Amino acid sequence: MIQLPNSFGQFRDRETLARSQVLQRSWPIVLDLCVAGIGLACFYGVVQLARYWFGHPMPQITISLSPRALPRYAFYSIVRIWLAYALSLVFAIGYGYTAAYNRRVEALMIAGLDILQSIPVLSFLPGVMLAMVALFPSRQIGVEMGAIILIFTGQVWNMAFSFYSSLKSIPRELREAATIYRFSPWQRLVELELPYSAIGLVWNSMVSVAGGWFFLMACEMFVLGSRDFRLPGLGSYLQTAASTGNAEAIVWGLFTMIAIIVATDQLLWRPIIAWSDKFKFEQVETTSRVRSPLLHLLQHSRGLQSLRNHTVGPIAETIYQRLAENRRRIAALPAPNEASRRRHERWNSIVRAVALIVVVASVLYAAFHALSLLREIQRSEFFEIIVGALATFLRVNTALLLASAWTIPAGVAIGFHPRLARIAQPLAQIAASVPATALFPVVLIALVRIGGGLGIGSILLMMLGTQWYILFNVIAGAMAIPTDLREAATLFHFTTTQRWKTLILPGIFPYLLTGLVTASGGAWNASIIAEYFRLKNQTMQTVGLGAVISAATDSGKFQILLLATIVMAGMVVTINRLVWRPLYRLAETRYKVEA
C-alpha cells in the first residue's frame, strides 16, 4: 500500500514535523465547532443535490474478464489516479499557502485539516457519487468525476499539511533575504517556497498516490440501493474476477497492479527523488543518494534542453520583467492621502463583515438542517451505532496489536541487519505496494472457503492495509538507534528482556508511534469496506461502525450515514487528541535520541 524509498529516514523528519505541529497546537473548542458546522453544511448541500436528481437512468457497463481488456482498464485507472493527484497538488498548494499567510483564517484552516484527515473518506462515497451523477445525468462522466473527487479527498490533506508546515519552517534569514532583495510573491514561490517544501511534497505525494489506489479499488464498483455504479478499471476488474471466482483473472489483475506500481516507482518516483535531492536543505553533501539513470538521461538530453530554453525560459523572463515593471509603477505612484485610505479601509471592513455574516448564516442554516435529519433516527438504530462503534474500536485495536506483534520483531531484525534489509526491504515494499482493497475480494473468497466469518476476517483485512506503516517505521527507527548504544548493550551483557526494555523499545518509540498513528487512521477507514461486503449478490457483514456506514450507504439512509460518520470522525479525533498527542509529546521530549 505504501512505497518507501531507501532514504526513508531522511524524509521522516519532515513528516513527523508536520504531524507534531498539529499535535502541539491546542485549539479552542470553538474552532472545532466551526469546522463541524461547515462540514455538516457541505453534507447537507451534497445530499440535497443528490436527492433532487435521484432516479436518472445510467448506462450499464459490463466488465470483461479477458486479460486483453486489462491494459485498457489499467489505463483508465491510472488516468483517474493522476487527475485526482493533479487536483490534490494544486489544491494542497493553494490551501497551505492561504493558511500560512492569512493570520485570520490560519487556526481555523489547520483545525479543519486535522478533522478532515480523520473523516472516513469512504462515507463520502454515496453523497459524492450521487451528486456527480446528478450533475451529469445519464453520462459516464458523472461517475468518473465522483471517483476522482473521492480519491482527491483521500489524498489531499497530508499534502496540504506538508506544504503548510514547510512554509512555516522556512528559516528566518532566507525569508529576510527574499524580502530585502525585493522578490515578488511569484519569485518567492518559485525560488524559495516551492523548493523548500519540495522534499516534503514529494514524500507526501508518494503516500497520497498509494492511498489513491486504495480508494480507487473500492470506488470503481459499488452498489447504492438499487443502483449499480461501475467504472471500467482495474478495481472493478478485480472485484468482478473475485466474485465470479475466476482465479486466472485474479492473478492477471494482481500482476498488472504490481507491475504498474513497480513501474511507477522506477520510472517516476525514483527520478523525482533523485532530482529533489538538490532541494535538501543541508550544509554538507551526503554520500548516500538515490540515483536514477532515467533522470540522468533527461537532464542531459540536448533536445529537452533546447525545448526548455525556447519555452519555459522566455516565459519566465517575461513574467519577471512584468512584475518588476509593475512594482516600479506602483512605487512611482504618489502615496494615497490619509482620508481616501481610511475611506477605502472602512469600505473593505464593511464588505468583509457582510460576507462573514452571509457565510455564517448559511453555514448555520445548512448545519441545522443536516442535524434535523438526525431526528429521524430511531432509538434502535442509535443503539446499533453505539454498539458498532465499540466493536470497531476493539477490532481496530486488535488489528494494531496483532500487526505490532509481528512487525516490531521483524522490523527490528531488518533494521539491525543491513544484509537482511537488502533482501527483505524490496520484498516488503512490493508486498506493501498492493492496495489492500485490491486484495479484499480475493481474501474474502478464501475466508468463505475455509469457513471463517467476517467478524474475525475484517481484522485480517484491516491488518492487510495498515501493518506496513508500522513495519516501515520500525525499520527506520531501528536503523536510527546509534551503534554505540547497541555496542554498550552488548558490552554489558544485557539480557534479552533488558535489551528490549532499555534499548530497543525506547529507541524505536517515536517511529513506532508515527507508524501506529497512521495505521490506526487507516484501520478506521478500512473498517468501512472490511466489515461489509457484497459478493455475488450476497451480502456479508458483521457488527461494526463500518458496517453501519456501508449498510446505510447501501440502503440510502442518509441520516444513519451522517450520524455514523460523525461518530467515527469524533472517535478518531478524540483518540488522536487523548492518546496520540500526549504520547507524541513524550516521544519528543524523553525518547528522542539526539546525535
Partner 1 sequence: MQQVIIRAEQVEKYYAQPSENRIQVISPTDLSISEGEIVALLGPSGSGKSTLLRMLTGLSTPSAGQVYWHEKPVGNAEVNVAIVFQSFALFPWLTVAENVEAPLKAKGLDPTERRKRALKMLDTVGLDGFQAAYPKELSGGMRQRVGFARALVVEPEVLFMDEPFSALDVLTAENLRSELLELWQNKTIPTRAIFIVTHNIEEAVLLADRIIVLGRNPGHVRTDFKVALAHPRERKAAAFTQLVDYIYKVLTQPEAKPPALPLTPEGKPVRDQRQMHYQMLPHARPGGIAGLLEILLDHNGKDDIYRLADDLAFEIDDLLPIVDAGQLLGFLKVTEGDAVITPTGAEYANSEILRQKELFRIAAVENVLLLRQIVRAIEAKSDKTVPEEFFHDMLDEQFSEDETLRQLETAINWGRYAELFDFDASRRRFIQPQNERESAAAAEIEA
Q: For residues 27 and 463, what is the distance between their CA atoms, to the nearest angstrom?
A: 32
Instruction: Please say whether the beta carbons of 463 and 575 come within 8 A.
Output: no
Please report how close the Cβ of residue 513 comes to partner 1 at its closest, in angstroms.
Answer: 16
CA pair distance 464, 142, nearest whole angstrom: 31
Measured from the CB atom, the residue of 170 and 374 that comes closer to partner 1 is: 170
Kindly tell me which of 321 and 372 has the beta carbon lying closer to partner 1: 321
| Smallest distance, partner 1 to C-beta of residue 276, A | 9
Q: Which helix (H) or strand (E) holds 541?
A: strand 538-541
Residue 280 CA to chain centroid, in angstroms? 23
Q: How far is the CB of 314 from partner 1 (least distance, A)?
A: 9
Report in angstroms the alpha-carbon separations of 8 from 5, 210, 270, 429, 436.
5, 15, 12, 12, 22
What is the nearest approach in angstroms of partner 1 to the Cβ of residue 344? 17
Q: With respect to partner 1, which residue has the nearer C-beta, 313 or 426?
A: 313
Q: Which is nearer to partner 1, 453 or 582 (CB)?
A: 582
Residue 167 Cβ, how far from partner 1 at the closest point, in Å? Answer: 15
The rounded distance, in Å, linking the Cα atoms of 450 and 13 is 44
Minimum CB separation from partner 1 for residue 69, in Å? Answer: 44
Instruction: Cell numbers for 498, please give them.
Output: 533488558
Q: Torsion angle of alpha carbons 196, 198, 203, 208, nearest 10°?
A: 120
What's the min distance (Å) between Cβ of 12 and partner 1? 20
CB of 153 within 8 A of CB of 120? no
CA dist 119 and 153 (Å) reads 10
Nearer to partner 1, 318 or 555 (CB): 318
Q: Is 220 or 277 the residue whose CB approaches partner 1 more closely?
A: 277
Number of other CB atoms surrounding residue 40 within 10 Å? 22
With CA atoms as reference, report the closest residue to 212 among 37, 88, 300, 92: 88
Gap between the Cα atoms of 368 and 17, Å rounded: 37
CA-closest candidate to residue 29, choices 118, 120, 107, 116: 107
Rounded CA-CA distance 221/253 in Å is: 15
Contacts of 233 (CB under 8 A, 6+ apart): 73, 74, 76, 77, 80, 216, 220
- Cβ-based nearer residue to partner 1, 68 or 278: 278
- Whichever of 175 and 227 has its CB closer to partner 1, that residue is 175
Measured distance CA(549)–CA(494) in Å, rounded: 50
Given the complex with partner 1, which of 174 and 357 has the nearer CB atom? 174
The backbone torsions φ and ψ at residue 181, rounded to the nearest 5 degrees and listed phi first, read -95, 15
Q: How far apart are CA 97 and CA 120, in angstroms?
A: 25
From the CB of 203, what's the least distance to partner 1, in Å? 16
In the complex, the residues that contact partner 1 under the rule CB under 8 A are: 171, 173-174, 176-177, 179-184, 187, 191-192, 195, 198, 278-285, 313, 317, 320-325, 328, 331, 335, 586, 589-590
Minimum CB distance to partner 1, residue 522 (Å): 30
Smaller CB distance to partner 1: residue 91 or 275? 275
- Spatial separation of the C-alpha atoms in residues 188 and 197, rounded to whole Å: 12
Measured CA to CA, the distance from residue 340 to residue 334 in angstroms comes to 13
Taking the complex as a whole, how short is the minimal distance between the CB of residue 523 and partner 1, in angstroms?
30
- Tell me which DSSP letter residue 189 carries: I
**What's the min distance (Å) between Cβ of 587 and partner 1?**
12
Q: Whose CA is closest to 167, among 21, 313, 41?
A: 21
| Nearest CB to partner 1, comparing residues 137 and 582 | 582
CB 183 within 8 A of CB 191: yes
